[in-house]
Amino acid sequence: MKYIVTILFTAIISFSAFSQAGVCGQFHKKYCILEKEKGTKWLYNAQSKSGLFNQGMVSKLRCVIYKGMDYRVSVCCETVLGDKVSYKIYDARTNEMLFDNSTADNTQIFEFQSISTRQLIIEVVVPQGATEKDKHKSENAACVGLLIENKVTDKQGFSQY
């Protein structure tokens, strides 16, 4: 009997972990706008990420961006406040703030290029608000997607690229 209970308990825990992992896995591909699918030159960047986070908390993603490329960052969230997700972009080495979407009409999309290759930290604050009901997560947790796309910067002058 104890053996059966052990197996059942283990199975339930394993199922919970698996389900939890699958809740937000592809969120950024489903809910953020992929320019690539509109036939433009933007390419999906492997540093994109989705996750399940408690509302009101901060998540940071450290990525690498190369000079000579244009980048497009799209942030999306499932809460009713989804169009007001707050995010900031910092230089990872100096902590210098390079962009704050609250100073740009809370835009959820930011296109940029960098004069140098560098590590950036994209910091996202998950807003508080109603989320889609899902049996796999609590109501105060929300899926957040951070989609990164890139393309070669258009040639200008005598650029070596």
Partner 1 sequence: MKKSSLFFLASITAFTLTSCSGGEKTEEVENTDTVKVEDPKTNPVSETFFQVPSPGEMLTFIKMVGGAKNQKTDFLNPVSNNKNYTDAKSKALNFGIYSCDLSYCSIFNIGSESLKYFGTVKTLGDQIGVSTAINPAILKRLQDNVGSSDSLAVITDDVYFSSFEALEESKQGPTLALVVAGGWLESIFIAVNLAKYEANSPVIERLADQKYTLENLIEFLKKHEADANVAAVKTDFDSLLAEFNKISEKDAETAKVKDGSKSAMLNGGKQLVITEDVYKAIVAKIKTVRNSYTLTK
List interacting residues with partner 1 (CB under 8 A). Answer: 3, 6, 9-10, 13-14, 16-18, 20-22, 25-26, 44-47, 49, 51-54, 57-64, 66-68, 70, 90-99, 110-119, 121, 123, 125, 150, 152-154, 156, 160-161
62 versus 106: smaller Cβ distance to partner 1: 62
Residues 150 and 124: their CA atoms lie apart, in Å, by 20
Distance in angstroms between the alpha carbons of the first and the last residue of the chain: 69
45 versus 131: smaller Cβ distance to partner 1: 45
31 versus 53: smaller Cβ distance to partner 1: 53
User: CB of residue 50 vs partner 1: minimum separation in angstroms?
Assistant: 10
The answer to whether residues 116 and 67 touch, using CB atoms and an 8 Å cutoff, is: yes
Which H or E run contains 100? strand 97-100
Using DSSP, state whether 123 is helix, strand or coil: strand
User: CB of residue 67 vs partner 1: minimum separation in angstroms?
Assistant: 8
Which H or E run contains 69? strand 69-77
User: CB of residue 112 vs partner 1: minimum separation in angstroms?
Assistant: 4
